[in-house]
Structure 1
C-alpha cells in the first residue's frame, strides 16, 4: 500500500430525534420516549464528550425534540406533570390508582431490551417472572397486584432506562439499585427529582459543548418531514420507477411547507443556541434536487445523505461510466449548484455506520473500537489520491445503545480515547472541514445531477409505496386541503390559526409513515397509528370541521412474525 502523508478527517454525526408525542388536545404526552431517551442516551452522549475534550463531532438536534425537552423542563419547574407514567412514578398511593393507570404501568414498564436492560438486574427480572406467572394463571389476576409491586416496577423501569454515566456517579441511583425492592414514596420522589434535573440540564450541556468549539450543532426541518415527498411524490420513482404513489398526485403546497419547517428550525436553533446552524441533516437523509435548492436558498452551507443516494446520483450523472471503487468517490463532499446558490453534500459511509448501529453491540467494547479505527486507517491508505479525504459516519444517537451492554459505555469511551491519541485520524466537524478546504484552495467535485433518495436503501420505500403508507398520505392530503380552505377564510382567530398550523406540522412528520407496514410489530404500529390519527382528528377539530369517519379506522396493523422493523434500519 502507498504511504499517505495527510491525516484522514472523520466526521461523526449523532442524530438526536423523537417525534412529537404530545396530544395537542389535552397537552398530555401519549408516549414516554422523549424523557426516557434523555435520562439514558442524551445524558450519556454528553458525558462522553465532556470526558474526552479532544474529540470533535456533530450533534444534530431535531427542533421538535428540543420543544419537548423544554416542555418537560417546564413541567418539572411548574409542578404539573403531563406525562402519565412520570405522574405515576411520583403518585403518593399506588394502591388506589384507577384500573387504567394500573394497566399503563403493567403494559409500559417492561418495554425495553430485556437482554441488556432487564436480565442483568435480578430484582427487575423477579418482577417480570411474577408478571409472567400471573398472566399465565389469569390475565385478570394482574389487576390485584399490590401498590408495592407497582412501585418497585416503576422504580426498576426507570433505573433500567438510566444512563450508565448517571448509574456510576449518582449516589441516589447507587442507593436505589443496591436497595433492590420495597421502594417507598420517598425513594420514588428522589428518582423523580433526579429525572427532572437531568432533563433541565440537557440543552445547557450541549450548548456549552458547542460554545467551547468541541461540537458543531446542526438541525433538521422542524417537525422532521420527509421533505422530498412533501415537495413531490413522484420523487419516489427516481430510485424505484415502479413505486405505487398515493391517490393524490401531489401534497398540497408541499414546497412552501418544507420552507416553513426549515425556517422554523433555523429560528429555533438561533433562539436556543445563539447562532444559526451552518448545516442540515434532512429527515432520514432524504434529499432531492428541489430540496437542495431550498436548503441552498436559505443559506445553508452543507447537508448530508446516504451512500446509496450518491451511487445512484453518479450513475445518473455519468450513465456511460461504471462506478469506480468506493474509496475513489465516497470520501469527499460534492457541490450541488442551483441558480446562484450552491450547497455541499456529504454522504455517510453506510458500512461503518451500520457496524455501530447493529454489529458492534455484540463485541467487547475495546475490540469494537479498535476494529472501527483499523477500518478508518485502511480507508486512509486507500484514499491516497484524494487531497482531503473525509469519512462521514452518521447515525441515530439514541436507539443503538439499547442493544449494547452498559448502554455502549465501554465502546464509546474506548473509541473516543483511541481517536484522541491517533496521529493519522483527525475528528472534526463539517463546518471545520469546509473551512479547511477553503483555506487550502482544494477544489470540490461538482455533482451534475442528484437522484432523490434517503439513507435507507437509497430510496423512499420506507415511507411511501405500499397500501398502508399511501393511505396515510391520502388522509394527510385530505386534511391539508381542508386546512388550506379554512386558512383562506377568516373564520379562525390568529391564535386558532397558529394552533392549527402547529398541529398540521406535527402530522407532517416522517415518523408516522416509518411505522406503517407489515414489517413492524403490532404493538409499535398500533401506538403510532393511533397517535397519527389522533393528530389528524385534532387538526380537524382545530379547524372546526367534523372529523371524517376514515380517520376512526386503523391504517395499519403490523405483523407478529416480522424481525425486520423497529426504530432502526440497515442502510442496504
Structure 2
C-alpha cells in the first residue's frame, strides 16, 4: 500500500457547439443558455462549502464567447428565448409546434416530473410526439397552457440552488401554474443574471487558488485531424478516409493560439493546461501545444497503454508522464476511464450517499493496491461538467456534497488542481512516443471514416481552398477575419459527432443545417454563391424502403394507376413517415415507386391532392402569387453524382407533360440540356427517363433527392437527409431475380 495520500485531479470539461450563425445573427439552439443556468455557475459555487477541494475546470473559449454574447443586452437571443417572450395569442401555428416539440427537451424524470403542472402538460401533449399528431396537439392547448409551458421549460433548467435562494423564483415555485407574462420575463431576467456571474466567479476562484482553469482549442476541433487527416489511419488502419486529405497544421496552431490569447485576456494570466478536444492527441499536435507555452495536457488511459505498448497496470496509469519536444517538455495525465464513466453514466441511478461511498471505496482500493513510492500517485477523473447532471436527482447536488465532504475529511485522499500536483511532483517517467487517438477507443472514427463524416471533411476542404484563393486576390481584412472564423467554427468536432451511425439526437437536422450554414457563409462573405450541395443535408435519414423492384416494368405514362399490374414489380418507398421539421406536418410526397426496363427508369410519385394543400402552401411560402397559381409548383429530381436535374411542372396533364433536363455548370448555375414529354400528372405523377439522358450505366447506383418547389422556394425535400439509392439493372438482371 502507498503510504502517501492518493491525489485526485477532477477535470470538469465545459463545452457546447457554436450555435450562432454569424451572418444572420440567429442562435439556432438554446443549449448554451440553458446549461449556463443549470451547470456552469453552480459547479463552481458548490466548492465554496468545501475549501479543501481543489479542482480544474476546462472552459472552451467558444463557450465563453457565446456566454458573453448572450448577456450582451444588444445581442439577438436564441429562438426558444424569443418564443418564450411572445404572448400565446401572437404565436403562429409553426411557432406553437416548435414550442410543443422543443419545450419538453429536458430529462422527464428529474426535470419535468418535479413540476406537476409541467408533467401534466407533457401528458397532454403526448409522450410520443409525432408529426401526425402535431396539429391536433396545438389545438388542445389553451393560451394559459402555452404560457405555463413557456415559463416552466425555462424554470426547470435553472439549477435548484438558484430556484431555492431567489425570492422571485421561490414564489413561482409556490405558484405552480397560471403564470403571467411578467412571470415569464422574470425567469428570463434571472437567467441572464446568473449568466453574468459565471466568468467573474471563475476568475475570482482561480485567483484565490481554489480552482485551475484549463482550455481547449478555440472552437473545439480535433487537432490531430487538422494537422493531417491521414493520422486517422495510424490509429485505425482499416479506416476509409475522405477523397481530399486535410493537412493544415497552421489551422491547428491558430485554434490553439486563439485559445491561449482569449484566456489570457479574460483571466490575466496564460493558461497552463489543456484538454485537447475529445482528448485527441498526436505528436504533431503535441508540438503545437508545447510551442504555445502550455505545460500539460490530459487524455484517456487507453492512449497511455497504446503509447507504452503494454497492458494496463494501475502503477503505470496513476502517475504523470513527460513528453520531450524540441519546444520543451509537455506533461501528460491520463483519465481513469472506470471512475470517470461511473460519474458520467452509472451513479445517476443510485442513492447519492451510496454512489459517493462507492467512489470513495474504489479510491481506497486503488491506493491499497499501489506499491510504495516516494511520490504520491495521481488519479485523474475527467468528464463533462454539464451533461451528466440532468440525469441525477436535484442536479447532482447531494452526490457532489457527499463526495466532496468525504474526500475533505479523509486523510488518505487529497484533491488538487492538475498544476498544483505537477508543480509539487513533476513527472519522473518519460513517454517515448504518443499514440494518436482520442478518449473514444483511442482512435478518431467518431469524427472521420463514415461516408457522411468524410463528406463533411470534403466540403470543409473545398470551402477552405476557395477562401485561400480569395485571400491571395483580396485584402479586405474584416471580410477575411469573418470568413476564417466560419472555417474555424466548421472545424469544430461537434458536427461530425452527429454524422454517421454512432450518435443521434433530437437535433440532428439542426446540427447538420448549422454546419452547412457555416460553410455557406464563407462563400457568401467573399461574394460567391454557395455550392448547391450545401443546401442538401449530409445526415442520412432514409425514407422507408418498403420493397425492392421484383423485375422489369413498363407502365403507361398517363398520370393514372391504369391497372393493378403496371407498378406491381416496382420498388416502393414510403415517404410519408419522415417526421421532419420542414414547413408542414403532412408530407406532400406520400409514396415513390421506381422501376425500369432495359433502357428506361420509371418513377411514380403519389402526392397529396393539389386542391387540398399544395396551392395555399405554395402561396404562403413563395409570397408573390395571387390565387395560389399552381403553375409555379414543380417537382425536381436531383441526380447527385451526375450534376443533373429534372424539373417537372405540377400541372394537370394526363399525357405528354413536358419536363426539362438541366446540367450544373462550373459556376453552379443550371443549364438546360433538353426537354422531353415523358411525364403525366393526373391522379399520380408518372415519369419515364431514358438511362442515356441521365448518363446511367448498367448496374450503376443512382443517388436521387426530390424536392417540391414553389417559385424556387423548396417546400419539401425527400428524403430529408441523404438520398434515395436506385441500382440500375445489369445485363443479367432478370435472370438473377429468377435464380433467387
Please, what TM-score do these two structures have when normalized by structure 2?
0.71
Deviates more, 1:509-518 or 1:231-240: 231-240
Equivalent residue, structure 1, for 2:186? 190
Instruction: Call closer, same or farther: CA 1:349–1:178 in 2, change over 3 Å.
Output: same
Contact 1:327 1:383 in 2 (8 A): yes
Matches within 5 A, 1:122-161: 122-132=116-126, 138-144=133-139, 145-161=141-157
Say whether 1:281 aligns with 2:275: yes
Greater strand proportion = 2
Matches within 5 A, 1:335-350: 335-350=322-337
Contact 2:260 2:292 in 1 (8 A): no
Instruction: Call closer, same or farther: CA 1:46–1:340 in 2, change over 3 Å.
Output: closer
Say whether 1:363 aligns with 2:346: no
Matches within 5 A, 1:321-470: 322-323=310-311, 325-386=312-373, 387-438=375-426, 444-470=428-454
Instruction: Call closer, same or farther: CA 1:13–1:97 in 2, change over 3 Å.
Output: same
User: What whole-Å deviation, never above 9, does each CA across 1:438-473 have from its counterpart, x for those lacking one?
Assistant: 5xxxx6111111110011111111111111111111
Contact 1:334 1:447 in 2 (8 A): yes
User: What whole-Å deviation, never above 9, does each CA across 1:463-504 have from its counterpart, x for those lacking one?
Assistant: 1111111111111111111111111111x5111111111111
Over the residues paired in the alignment, what is the CA RMSD in angstroms? 1.9
Contact 1:332 1:390 in 2 (8 A): yes
Contact 2:344 2:383 in 1 (8 A): yes
Q: Which whole-Å CA distance do the structure 2 matches of 1:104 and 1:71 have between them? A: 24
- Secondary structure of 2:4's partner? coil
Instruction: Call closer, same or farther: CA 1:129–1:306 in 2, change over 3 Å.
Output: same
Q: Which whole-Å CA distance do the structure 2 matches of 1:12 and 1:375 have between them? A: 15
Contact 1:365 1:414 in 2 (8 A): yes
- Secondary structure of 2:235's partner? coil
Equivalent residue, structure 2, for 1:270? 264
Residue segments in structure 1 that go unaligned for 5+ positions in a row: 316-321, 562-572
Equivalent residue, structure 1, for 2:113? 119
Matches within 5 A, 1:49-88: 49-75=47-73, 78=74, 81-88=76-83
Contact 2:71 2:196 in 1 (8 A): yes
Residue segments in structure 2 that go unaligned for 5+ positions in a row: 545-740
User: What whole-Å deviation, never above 9, does each CA across 1:182-211 have from its counterpart, x for those lacking one?
Assistant: 100111111111011001111111111111
Contact 1:521 1:560 in 2 (8 A): no
- Secondary structure of 1:523's partner? coil
Equivalent residue, structure 2, for 1:290? 284
Instruction: Call closer, same or farther: CA 1:135–1:248 in 2, change over 3 Å.
Output: closer
Name the count of aligned residue pairs: 541
Shift of residue 544, structure 1, vs aligned partner: 1.5
Q: Which whole-Å CA distance do the structure 1 matches of 2:376 and 2:542 have between them? A: 47
Q: Which whole-Å CA distance do the structure 1 matches of 2:218 and 2:246 have between them? A: 21
Shift of residue 58, structure 1, vs aligned partner: 0.2
Q: Which whole-Å CA distance do the structure 2 matches of 1:336 and 1:239 have between them? A: 19
Equivalent residue, structure 2, for 1:302? 296
Shift of residue 559, structure 1, vs aligned partner: 8.8
User: What whole-Å deviation, never above 9, does each CA across 1:383-422 have from its counterpart, x for those lacking one?
Assistant: 2244221010000000011111111111111111111111
Contact 1:229 1:235 in 2 (8 A): yes
- Secondary structure of 1:216's partner? strand
Greater helix proportion = 1
Shift of residue 168, structure 1, vs aligned partner: 2.3
Q: Which whole-Å CA distance do the structure 1 matches of 2:127 and 2:13 have between them? A: 40
Q: Which whole-Å CA distance do the structure 2 matches of 1:444 and 1:38 have between them? A: 39
User: What whole-Å deviation, never above 9, does each CA across 1:73-105 have from its counterpart, x for those lacking one?
Assistant: 113xx4x542221122233x2211233322221
Say whether 1:483 aligns with 2:467: yes
Contact 1:518 1:559 in 2 (8 A): no
Equivalent residue, structure 2, for 1:171? 167
Contact 2:322 2:431 in 1 (8 A): yes
Please, what TM-score do these two structures have when normalized by structure 1?
0.91
User: What whole-Å deviation, never above 9, does each CA across 1:348-387 have from its counterpart, x for those lacking one?
Assistant: 0001000000000011111111111111111112222442
- Secondary structure of 2:230's partner? helix
Instruction: Call closer, same or farther: CA 1:350–1:135 in 2, change over 3 Å.
Output: closer
Deviates more, 1:206-215 or 1:443-452: 443-452
Shift of residue 121, structure 1, vs aligned partner: 2.3
Say whether 1:230 aligns with 2:230: no
Deviates more, 1:158-167 or 1:352-361: 158-167
Contact 2:97 2:135 in 1 (8 A): no
Shift of residue 240, structure 1, vs aligned partner: 1.1
Instruction: Call closer, same or farther: CA 1:558–1:304 in 2, change over 3 Å.
Output: farther
User: What whole-Å deviation, never above 9, does each CA across 1:493-545 have from its counterpart, x for those lacking one?
Assistant: 11111111111111110000111112333633212111111111111111212
Decide which structure has the larger Cα Rg and report it.
Answer: 2
Equivalent residue, structure 1, for 2:529? 546
1:530 to 490, 509, 513: 513
Q: Which whole-Å CA distance do the structure 1 matches of 2:367 and 2:45 have between them? A: 29
Equivalent residue, structure 2, for 1:25? 23
